[in-house]
A and B are shown apart, each in its own frame.
Chain A
Amino acid sequence: MDLIKTIFRAILSDRLAIFGLVVIILFIFAAIFAPYVAPYEPREIIKDTDTGLVAKYKPPSLKYWFGTDNLARDIFSQVVFGSRIALVVGFLSAILVVFVGTNVGLVAGYYGGRTDNFLMRIVDIAYAIPFIPFAVLLVALLQPSIKNLILVMALLMWRAPARVIRSQVLSLSQRPFVKSARVAGASNMRIIYQHIGPNILPFVFLYIPISVGWAIIAEASVSFLGFGDPRVISWGGMLQIAFASGAMRIAWWWTLAPGLAIVLVVISVYFIGRALEPLANPQLLK
């Protein structure tokens, strides 16, 4: 519980992190209450009430905040609904990535020797696999869906927290409190999760916001390349349609809105991550 308090104190003492927290909360609200926040159905083809014509390629205005697309659909409403996918993919992937990475790091660092060597070879392999091309390949072979997108992230991204946490555990295992726990007859499981685990929690909490950011960008990239879940509205998917339909020439607003939404969410989690950095590495506090 103390750690939660420390985390909140760290966030609230950093102006950029407060900004990040507020933005994330706003997006979470938009995602939950999307049907109430969005002025139109995201897939609804809008007819202009004055002219009776289909309102396609309308620039941003009071009526259509972020303009409309080539099929006369409201872009603001699509962005609001898109936040659901971004947040779900971002947070679920991050939890999986950090869960796998932490456990691999703990086991490798604590047992050392062959176990460590074996796990670190897997980390090497994961690092040699180019992420976006692999994600495209796997999602295409498994069928594009949100579930498979999250699976791909969990399959590769754990490499970063695993490596960092392993090196922490490696030095922690040599510390007297671990040795005395072992002498006292504590089981390996108990030493790993009760004695070493709490000491690496700052790293665990640091990697959650970072992974959320990675996952949101990765999801957007894979969707942009045409391998997103075709049944849902996502920011990357919106940008793919905008790119393919040549909107860069006709409707700049169509490119701008979904991209800015991605930037806002990702920069917010990075701001929060930065505020948590000194907890893991107190040298930065000075």
Chain B
Amino acid sequence: MRGFRGYIIVRVLQSIFTVLVIATILFFLFRAAPGDAVDYMIDPTFPPEVKEQVRARFGLDRPVSEQYVKYMWNLLQGDMGISFFSQRPVTREIADRVWNTLILALASFLIAYPLGVFLGAILATKRKTKIDSGGITFSLFFRSAPLFWTGMIFITIFSIKLDLFPYGRMREIGYEADNLFQTYFSLDFLHHLILPAFVAGLYLAALPMLLMRNSVLETLDEDYIELARAKGLKEREVLFRHGVRNAILPIVTAAAVYIGLALGGMAVIEVVFSWPGLGKTIVDAVTAKDYPLAQGAFIILAIMVSVMNLVADLLYGYLDPRITYTKS
């Protein structure tokens, strides 16, 4: 393994391994679930012969090791079984939800990150003033508030009292899209997206803001800032052209990890806003004991998070030339 290319290969293989381990954990977790899986699929009062048929159909009469091999083999081919509840393939059930979650997470992120970075840079220059402690308190407030609660409060204010935004679902009730394009590219969709994305954005903005504040504070101690000031540059120019540009590197690399974490955290927002994403699917499926659906949605979410973590690592290695990949 030599250089950056070798490093990429190793990290990709590690990520695949990670996902396979998570799939394995899920397999055994669901096997350990109390009760008979067949009872969730059909009425428990059905005669035993019918139960045996169902059991055979889903391969539940085979030994666990055989089931496991088949499960992993199917998974590698993109087959995640059949939903107990809808009797449709899990992959079909969750295909749209992947996009719904991704769009919501990305929209929140695009609100949170630039806002956080900008405010963080401002706060760094207002160190030990009322603005600094006020800004920190404000952002920590939204960091301390559970996402679902902020969502409920915003719905109460902006949807119910002021009637500015719709809440719940992605489109008007009764709307049926013919294709993906129609679902996402419309004012109605945007209108439904703003409130949940903004609520999540407020929560997510705190971390880049605090990171940026510390990073700029560290940078402002450097000699080249001293030099820029000595050259007679305006304070604003010193801050943005010299301070921020150098301070932003660790924040950029933190971004990918952050999207990964945000993806998992979207679950509560999706529930509050009835947003048909992966997180809500998992919660609903677990409640309905639709284990194949919950399992499939979870694996897809875990894959998305692993990909973001991988991107973060590679980005970090790419952007920071001080890191070497050869073993000494």
Contact = CB atoms under 8 A, between A and B. Distances in A.
B107 interface: no
A283 B218 contact: yes
B18 A125 contact: yes
B145 A259 contact: yes
Given A130-B267, A286-B221, A136 B146 contact: no
Given A127-B309, A259-B153, A132 B22 contact: no
Interface string A258-286: 11001100110011001000000001101
B29 A128 contact: no
Given A121-B14, A136-B282, 5 more contacts: A128-B306, A133-B279, A133-B297, A141-B32, A225-B267
A136 B145 CA distance: 19
Nearest to B133: A16
Contacts, number: 146
24 contacts: A15-B133, A128-B15, A128-B306, A129-B264, A130-B263, A130-B301, A132-B268, A133-B267, A134-B298, A138-B29, A217-B146, A220-B149, A221-B148, A225-B268, A225-B271, A226-B283, A239-B152, A243-B152, A248-B156, A255-B152, A259-B153, A262-B149, A263-B145, A270-B143
B246 interface: no
Nearest to A122: B21
A121 B17 contact: yes
A105 interface: no
A124 interface: yes
A270 to B, nearest CB: 5
Interface in B100-138: 133, 136-137
B225 interface: no
B144 A213 contact: yes
Interface in A194-244: 213, 217, 220-221, 224-227, 236, 239, 242-243
A140 B286 contact: yes
A128 B260 CA distance: 8
A120 to B, nearest CB: 10
A159 to B, nearest CB: 11
Nearest to A249: B160
A221 B145 CA distance: 11
Contacts of B214: 284
A248 B152 contact: yes
Nearest to B157: A252
A220 B146 contact: yes
B30 interface: yes
A128 B309 contact: yes
A128 B22 contact: yes
A256 B154 CA distance: 11
B177 interface: no
A86 to B, nearest CB: 11
Nearest to A269: B144
A135 to B, nearest CB: 10
Nearest to A140: B286
Size category, A interface: 35 or more
Nearest to A127: B309
Contacts of A217: 144, 146
A133 B33 contact: no
B239 interface: no
A65 interface: no
Contacts of B297: 133
Contact of B156 (A125, A137, A227, A255): A255
A128 B149 contact: no
A130 B147 CA distance: 15
A270 B287 contact: no
- The 8 A-B residue pairs whose C-beta atoms are closest, nearest first, are A130-B264, A266-B144, A259-B149, A267-B144, A128-B306, A133-B282, A132-B267, A140-B286
A262 B298 contact: no
A91 interface: no
Interface in A3-59: 15-16
Nearest to A265: B144
A131 B155 CA distance: 25
B309 A262 contact: no
Nearest to B21: A125
A131 B149 CA distance: 18
